[in-house]
């Protein structure tokens, strides 16, 4: 089976955190061309918006977001897999992402997707991107769980796994 087919099968079965991470690893290790979708950053008082342009056929695995946030698909059609299931999203489409969501996105038609992230700081700009990303994005689920649950939440989660 060709690598592209293997990755498609992995996408079709990626309805858990572990499987989405495995899909991300498979893409990284494959000989498929690496894509770097263009981004446009927008800033307003207390607000950061990240607009991404994805082409039909792209397979993109997103980042883990620490907070709930609003998303807008203003153009295109995508098939999205998260740990909560699969769904096809068609522009125009707005929805709220849950904290901790990581998506695998198969782009069916050229797409413009914008996510909106409230900021504590009033005046944000391009020079704040590193700080914004550190607040908005978790490097991995351990970091997300630590930020969201704190020490006692992690202990409770571990105890729950043991019992």
pLDDT of 6 reads 46
pLDDT of 95 reads 96
Match 């979708």 to its residue by tokens: 37
Q: Residue 157 above 80 pLDDT? A: no
From residue 62, give the alpha-carbon distance in Å to each of 1, 30, 45, 81, 121. 26, 17, 25, 11, 25
- pLDDT band at 3, cuts 50/70/90? very low
pLDDT of 15 reads 63
- pLDDT band at 151, cuts 50/70/90? low
Domains within the chain, CATH numbers bracketed: 35-162 (2.60.120.10)
- Return the HEC string of 75-102: EEEEEEEECCEEEEEECCEEEEECCCCC
pTM for the predicted model, two decimal places: 0.80
Q: Residue 60 above 80 pLDDT? A: yes
């Amino acid at each position: 089976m060709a690598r592209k087919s293997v990755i498609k099968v992995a996408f079709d079965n990626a309805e858990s955190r572990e499987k989405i991470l495995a899909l991300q690893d498979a893409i990284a290790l494959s000989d498929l061309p690496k894509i770097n979708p263009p981004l446009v950053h927008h800033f307003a008082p207390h607000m950061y918006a990240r607009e991404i342009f994805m082409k039909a056929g792209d397979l993109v695995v997103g980042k883990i977001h620490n907070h709930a946030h609003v998303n807008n698909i203003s153009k295109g059609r995508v098939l999205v897999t998260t740990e909560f299931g699969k769904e096809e999203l068609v522009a125009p489409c707005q929805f709220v992402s849950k904290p901790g969501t990581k998506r695998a996105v198969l782009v069916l038609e050229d797409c413009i997707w914008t996510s909106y992230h409230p900021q504590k700081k009033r005046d944000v700009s391009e020079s704040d991107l590193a700080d914004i990303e550190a607040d908005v994005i978790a490097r991995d689920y351990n970091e997300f769980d630590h930020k969201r649950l704190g020490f006692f939440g992690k202990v409770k989660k571990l105890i729950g796994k043991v019992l």
